[in-house]
Amino acid sequence: MKKQITYLFIISLLSISCAKEYYSCTPSVNEWVKQHKAMYANIPRSQLASFDRDKQSGLFVSFTPQQKARIYQEKYDYLMGLEILSQKEKEQLTKLFQLVTPEIYQNEANRTKFNILANEWEKETKELLGWSDSEIFLHTHTWLTLEEIEDVITRNMSYMGEVAFGRKPNCTCLYDTYCWFLSLGTETCAYGNCEEVLECGIVGNSNCKGLCK
């Protein structure tokens, strides 16, 4: 059950960016981030995780590349302290997180280069460790821990979001697996007819490309 829960909001917890001057396509959240981004610019990962998921996403969008990299390095520190992970698993995670620097968030060229290496790492990890998609997601696609994900789900279960600024809905998924668990096996990730947004994928460095249908 916990592995299923892992999928529910991993993608939607990741950040949205409907235009350069906006931090969220939800007007109230956009205003909240504008008012609070300086105050929360250097908060630790654990404090970021305490906000509702839409505010987390908006804040992450407002962060500088240095701040984004720091958040995921703090996730790495958390993973290194988990007794349930073997030394071999921690060594494999280290190979990935050594690549997580501010530069990968700075421009498209660096982002593309990182994503190529990250995809190779994911394939290698599945073959070497036998990890499932849920384990890859939980350890590398979100700054949240499993317990934090479950907490956010509890606090946001009825949240549907607003669409504003005259744009199509934000894409919220990248993989069918996310939608399958969200809908208890009835939906898949349908690409198109939504605004592609950054912050899906490994360490939030890929575009979300679809909506669950």
Tens of pLDDT, residue by residue over 163-212, are 444 456 677 777 776 666 555 456 788 887 777 776 666 776 777 788 87
Within 10 A of 193 (CB to CB), how many other CB atoms are there? 11
Within a domain: residue 46?
A: yes
**Phi, then psi, of 210 in degrees rounded to 5:** -150, 180
Within a domain: residue 177?
A: no
Within a domain: residue 192?
A: no
Within a domain: residue 184?
A: no
Within a domain: residue 94?
A: yes
Rg (CA), the chain: 16
Whether the CB-CB separation of 212 and 169 falls below 8 Å is answered with no
Residue-wise pLDDT for 22-74, tens only, equals 787 678 888 999 999 999 999 999 999 999 877 888 899 899 999 999 999 99
Tally of domains in the chain: 1
Identify the domain containing residue 41 by its residue range: 2-168
Within a domain: residue 207?
A: no
Distances in Å between the Cα of 188 and the Cα atoms of 149, 157, 182 are: 21, 19, 9
Specify the pLDDT at position 204. Answer: 65
Distances in Å between the Cα of 175 and the Cα atoms of 60, 103, 209 are: 21, 26, 9
Nearest CA among 29, 57, 213, 65 for reference residue 143: 57
Position with higher pLDDT, 100 vs 154? 100
Helix (H, G, I), strand (E, B) or coil at 94: helix
Query: Mean per-residue pLDDT for 70-94?
Result: 97
Please, which residues bridge with residue 170 across strands? 195
